[in-house]
Chains A and B, each alone.
Chain A
Amino acid sequence: MSQEKVVQVLNDLAADVVMLEPGDLAGLGQLLNGLDELEKPEVCLGLDYLHPLAEKLRDAVVGIIYDEFAESEKSILLLSSLITEMQDALRNGGTSSVAPELAPDLPETAFGPENDETTVVEAVLCATPVDEIGTDMSAVESTAALAVESQEEDREENPEEDLAVDEELFAGVDFSQDEDLYQGFIAESNEHLDTIEENILSLEQDPENLEILNSIFRPFHTIKGVSGFMNLKQMNVIAHHLENLLDDARNKKFYLDGAATDLILDGVDFLKQMLLQLNHAICGGQPEPMPVQSFLNRIDTLHQVLLGVEPAQAAAAVFSESYAEDEVDDLQPPPKIGEILVREGAISPADLEDALTEQKTSAGIHPEQGPRKIGKILVELKKTDIKTVARAIRQQQQPQPKESSGGGSAIKVDTEKLDNLVDMVGELVIVQAMLKQDPDISALTTRKVAENMAQLSRITSSLQKVAMSLRMVPIKQTFGKMVRLVRDLAKKTEKEIELVMSGEETEIDRNMVDLIYDPMVHMIRNSADHGIEKPEERRAAGKNQVGTITLKAFHGGGNVIIEIVDDGRGLNVEKIRKKALERGMINEHDQPSDQELFNMILAPGFSTADKITDVSGRGVGMDVVKKAIEKLRGVVEVDSTPGQGSVVTIKVPLTLAIIDGMVVIVGRERYIIPTLNVVESLRPLPEQYHTVQGQGELIRVRDRLLPLVRLHQVFKCEAQTTEPWQALVVVVEHESEQFCLLVDKLVGKQEIVIKSLGERLKDLPGIAGGAIMGDGRVGLILDVAGLVRR
């Protein structure tokens, strides 16, 4: 009976190990529990030969909990090999005396700083099919010897490096098989790379922060893993090398300095470039070759340099000191294990004292081994047991990195599904309105019906609110990308710039996020290049030599307002006036206000920069910004105070999906004119109507003669009236060009959700899209710009 039980426990253990990931303390704890079970006398009665193996397994688990193995993945492999051995031993009824010898002598070697033995075992296990272990000892020995030899030659050897990395990108990868898979990989990896970018910049300010380091390490690790799985060898190798570099930094072999940060950022760019190439390749294109090998060399060179320049024994000593003394320094590291244990009452403060003394003494005896872990010392001193320590370590690691985006958990949803949901909710609202207005239902006087109808409308309207909010995301993501931009710009222009952000939580339509990115980049570039002065210039002007660019986002009047403020030299009004005169935008006698002049820099090709830099100054940019923002139905404004800096205000609507529209009727059709384009509406008197030979019809509106466009003629439908003085004209405007639209009736103003008419009906002149009206039918939205061009 007991044997069956042992088999079962072992199987459970094996399953646990398979699921185990590095750093998964809960999983390790479970392993320990399983081992306890195994060592109960009633369970392993008569199976004494399992004891040594179980001991070793326990030691290995404990070692992993203490994080004493350099490469935790390999140590997990070791665990699984040990369990396999136990299973084998059990099957052979204890005859497999070989196994214990094969297992590494853990207490001595594996806990030491060098754990070659474990890697050797791992190499053996890789080289020899598991079932041969213990049956063919000579083979094992020779393989092990080989492994040791090759390891002595090159400890860092990686199997991946055997491949010719400069071979054609993605050679031998068949994209047709799993296109979705690759596309998913690209999207995911890009997200990971963005995370790295954001985090690495905070690391620069706080190079010792392990949390940040981990949050950079993890994405690289994921990219490495997935790219390997997808057979994208070059990506895998690059991610792997960067990961190695970071791993050593994590293990405090060195700190990442500016050069290393630059390298990692370059690595991020390199990988992004590769992703682009990958995308290109998936679409059937030929990927361009990339200098994978030279980049690898760059990483390795820097890695060697960093390894060579030891972080000075002193620094390490200081670090171990602070660790040992439980000092809370300004970095605010997670609480110390000792503290947690004392708080939990697992040990007394006196025990902790003892352990700390022990730690210092041993550090003094074996300085080269680095500080010993306090938890381990406590266990050795029999003050507490492994499980308590493991629990404490788990607690210590609990506060997850701040990047885990606060507000609860999130899932990714296909935008198409989201759009469908929003569509359906829109329909629900229409049906609900129809029900409410149904004469038969309104005729019912039962209270129950009235109550239920009220409940229905409450639920539908809150459902609609939720559905609309699903599309909204915080602007944080876009702001986050600017951090890197400003850093790069500051380097390039040799200035010191600090980026301050506020209102990152402001929500904006998901589709808007991408569209607003480029204009923001342009504006920030301008601020950094033209606005902020060089440090010496700033000092001379009595300003802080570090310039500040402030990004602000907030809601106001149904819009999202983004302000880009710099405290640089401000705009030069005289220069702009001169330039405007040169370009004939104003003439000598004009007296434009400063405000008007500032906004002239938004005109195409307008640049006052004395020299063109590779950052900005070519005069493209500002008008691009203006165009892009206008496309989003937003506005850009510029303001400035000489010597104090300038402010660019971008105002965009909350969402692209909804516009304010004026509903008009022409014959039997309904059209919607975007309110943005509407100037006024009037019923002209017959004397306001003029015809001009060759010019068509005109309506005199106050002092101006505006061309008349008969909508029923343009759209070839029957109007109720054809005489302008019996109908209505709506004065519309596009790019300061005004004209009158002749319509039959004006129904009113309402908010409408824009719907595309589909690819069969796109690009029709004068029609911008469709909208579902209150009665469930489709109304067409007019494209005023298109009508002008007719």
Chain B
Amino acid sequence: MQEKNSDAADVRALATEHKCLTFHLADELYGLDILKVREIIGIQEVTKVPGAEEYLIGVINLRGKVIPVADLRKRFVLPVREYDVRTCIIVVEIAGEAGPVAIGIVVDAVDAVVNLRDEQVEKAPVFASQVNRDCIRGLGKFDKQVVILLDIDKVCATGQTAAEDAPERRGESRN
């Protein structure tokens, strides 16, 4: 019950009208709160960091700052594929221990910026996607498309490895 309430609060938190950056990953369309997005850059060579969590594929130089890069396909345990010209790194700001920190997320392609009104957003159903439900803020519907709105803070939270999510995900999909 409590969880439901907090989910409802999350949905409400998506203001009345809401700008989202949408992007493609595998076969789905995902969305991010535009306020979380700092910039979008092309894919570039990433320096591997040994010992880091699996989905953190390394670090890049963003104009003099070293920032980590997460591969969302790896994060959600989707089939890995070669990067191509449309592959992008979306630099987002997530909550850190001492203020926001920048992190890059690799996506297949960036789509558009869309306006979503409250009534267009629904709470995520249990078997919504292959993504852990904790990371989803809701489902947005527009132009006959469905966009999975991600809570990027939770997606990139420390200790959230793909391996940990995997059993839960499998359990959900059996439901």
Contacts and interface: CB of A to CB of B under 8 A. Distances in A.
B50 A714 contact: yes
A712 B59 CA distance: 18
A767 B101 contact: no
A772 B66 contact: yes
Interface string A764-790: 111100101000111110000000000
Contacts of A764: 49-52
Nearest to A712: B50
A715 B50 contact: yes
A324 to B, nearest CB: 62
Contacts of B68: 757-758, 760-761
Contacts of B38: none
B50 A760 contact: no
Interface in B87-109: 96-98, 101-103
Contact of A427 (B50, B63, B67, B96): B63
A779 B97 CA distance: 25
Interface string B140-165: 00000000000000001010000000
B52 A755 contact: no
B101 A759 contact: yes
Given A760-B56, A777-B45, A772 B50 contact: no
B136 interface: no
B48 interface: yes
A716 interface: yes
A759 B65 contact: no
Nearest to B94: A760
A426 B66 CA distance: 12
A423 interface: yes
A760 B159 CA distance: 10
A777 B66 CA distance: 9
Given A770-B59, A776-B61, A779-B47, A759 B52 contact: no
Most buried by A among B64, B65, B98, B158: B64
A362 B108 CA distance: 94
B47 A669 contact: yes
A772 B61 contact: yes
A420 B65 CA distance: 8
Contacts of A757: 49, 59, 66, 68
A729 to B, nearest CB: 19
Contacts of B51: 715, 764-767
Contacts, number: 83
A424 B64 contact: yes
B61 A780 contact: no
Nearest to B47: A778
Chain A, interface size category, equals: 20 to 34
A427 to B, nearest CB: 4
A427 B66 contact: no
A761 B68 CA distance: 7
A769 to B, nearest CB: 8
B60 interface: yes
A760 B45 contact: no
A767 B60 CA distance: 15
Given A755-B66, A770-B66, A761 B61 contact: no
Given A760-B101, A761-B59, A778-B60, A717 B65 contact: no
A427 B60 CA distance: 13
A395 interface: no
A767 B49 contact: yes
Contact of B64 (A426, A669, A761): A426
A33 interface: no
A613 interface: no
Contacts of A423: 63-65
Interface string A426-449: 110000000000000000000000
Interface string B22-53: 00000000000000000000000101111110
9 closest Cβ pairs, A-B complex: A423-B64, A715-B50, A778-B47, A770-B66, A764-B51, A427-B64, A755-B66, A778-B59, A760-B68
Given A758-B66, A777-B60, 12 more contacts: A423-B63, A426-B64, A427-B61, A670-B47, A716-B50, A755-B65, A760-B52, A760-B103, A760-B156, A760-B158, A761-B56, A764-B49
Interface of B: 45, 47-52, 56, 58-61, 63-68, 96-98, 101-103, 156, 158
Interface of A: 420, 422-424, 426-427, 669-670, 714-717, 755-761, 764-767, 770, 772, 776-780
29 contacts: A423-B64, A424-B64, A715-B50, A715-B51, A717-B48, A755-B65, A758-B66, A758-B67, A758-B68, A759-B101, A760-B96, A761-B49, A761-B52, A761-B56, A761-B59, A764-B52, A766-B50, A766-B51, A767-B50, A770-B66, A772-B64, A772-B66, A776-B61, A777-B45, A778-B47, A778-B60, A778-B66, A779-B47, A780-B49
